[in-house]
Amino acid sequence: MPQATASWSELLSGRNGLRSIALAGGVALHAVNVYIVATILPSVVRDIGGLSYYAWNMTLFVVASILSSALSPKTLDKFGPRRAFMVAIAVFALGTTVCALAPTMGWMLAGRTLQGFGGGLLLGLSYSSVRIVFEERLWPKAMALVSSMWGVATLAGPAIGGIFADAGYWRWAFGAVLPVALFLACLVRTQIAAKSSAPRGSGPVRIPLPQIGLLVVSVLIVSVASLSEHVGWSALGIAVALLVGAGVARLDARDVTRLMPIGAYDLDRLGSIYACVALVSIGITVEMFVPYFLQVLHGHSPLAAGYLSALMSAGWTMGAVTSTSRSPATADFYVRVGPIVSALSLVILGLLLPWAPLQDAVLRWVVIIPLVGVGLGIGMCWPHLLTYVFKVAPAGQENMASSAIITTQLYAMALGAAIGGVIINAAGFTDPGGVQGTAQAALALLLVIALAPGLAAYFVTRVVRGRRQLRD
């Protein structure tokens, strides 16, 4: 007999409600922190220095998240849900404390790495624990609730970061996260089971650590290259990183413990989808730099700059919501148009930000349109790309195919942030710096990054062709 449809009241009431808060809180803690840091980082570098390491704050955070999210199944298997969550919260809280007390950028980056490791572990555990904590009929609504925390973060993160940065107390923005982490730990301690009641697999959980390690190395190579004063060395670093990334594909094809499903490197079908996921994800990495551009070039306060930057994520949500539940033909249209909208919005934003007349108190708000457009284009194609992955994944590898989406997205964002660091430093972000250097960096970064979703528009033709063949 088919299971009865679960209601939201059943998920959010009683003990289920407390468990829902615990799992959703894991994602919220990670997501809100992302927007807090993006908002306060201009204030951080003005206080403790380290402008040339600006991009490293996102790169190291995401790289650590890649590693820990990949380790989350092993952590869950070894420690059980409760202890695994407690370890993740402890690491995240330690990293947050280091960030709050950081006297130099070196300490800040150490804290961001710990935050990323704990946050990535929280992400992986929150999604993986849905099937452990709830009955099967509650899974769809529980997954929707957990995923919706990114939308909550776009509202809460800039507010928390902006209020403290405006007042001149950016360190307290990190401090404000710690009571939330403590509350989450109390919920986990009382509501999440010590051991999993879900059936165990036939053997130990295996993690493709060599492949993940090489992905991390490739990103770090680009990050180090971004510090070079010579463009040639920076370009060489990017080339070497791409070669290392290509080596991951060769290793993954031969390894028994795979990172990606079979066919993930075939650009005629599944590979083209992952390529699109990676390329449009690179486009959103400018979100880390935009608050600084808006504050220096247009005179926005940290609070206003944080919310303006968050419009990209809001546009993503808007695009995803409005493009779903459409006919196949309409879905193909959204998949084709989405990357183009994102690329054009990045180009327009790149031309507008350095434009002197936009420093006018009224005209400067015109950037809202391209900021929304960057995320809107990604959201238009995102749900259809993910759905197609499920449809064409090899039989028996559906779970691997879905987890590979997260790995691809995080890797692309880390690599995009690292490449962004190369671009802005080469364009004059630190030398000459100031308004002139920032204007040059904004123009160069946004025009170059626009090439990523532009290239996705090419691969999307392969995706649409495959969708039509599957329907036929």
Query: Mean pLDDT per segment of 10 residues, for the chain of length 472 residues?
Result: 64 87 90 92 95 93 88 83 94 97 97 95 85 80 80 88 94 95 94 67 69 90 85 87 88 82 82 90 92 91 92 87 74 89 96 79 81 92 80 75 80 92 92 91 96 92 69 56
* Cα–Cα distance, 445 to 421 (Å, whole number): 9
Prediction pTM value: 0.86
* Cα–Cα distance, 200 to 77 (Å, whole number): 8
Query: Residue 104 is encoded by which pair of tokens?
Result: 């130099």
Position 154 scores a pLDDT of 85
Residues contacting residue 16 through CB under 8 Å, at least 6 positions apart: 10, 134, 138
| Domains identified in the chain and CATH numbers | 11-197 (1.20.1250.20), 258-472 (1.20.1250.20)
Provide the 8-state DSSP code for 200. Answer: P
Cis peptide before 432 (omega within 30 of 0): yes
Residue with tokens 């960030």: 99
* Cα–Cα distance, 353 to 342 (Å, whole number): 16
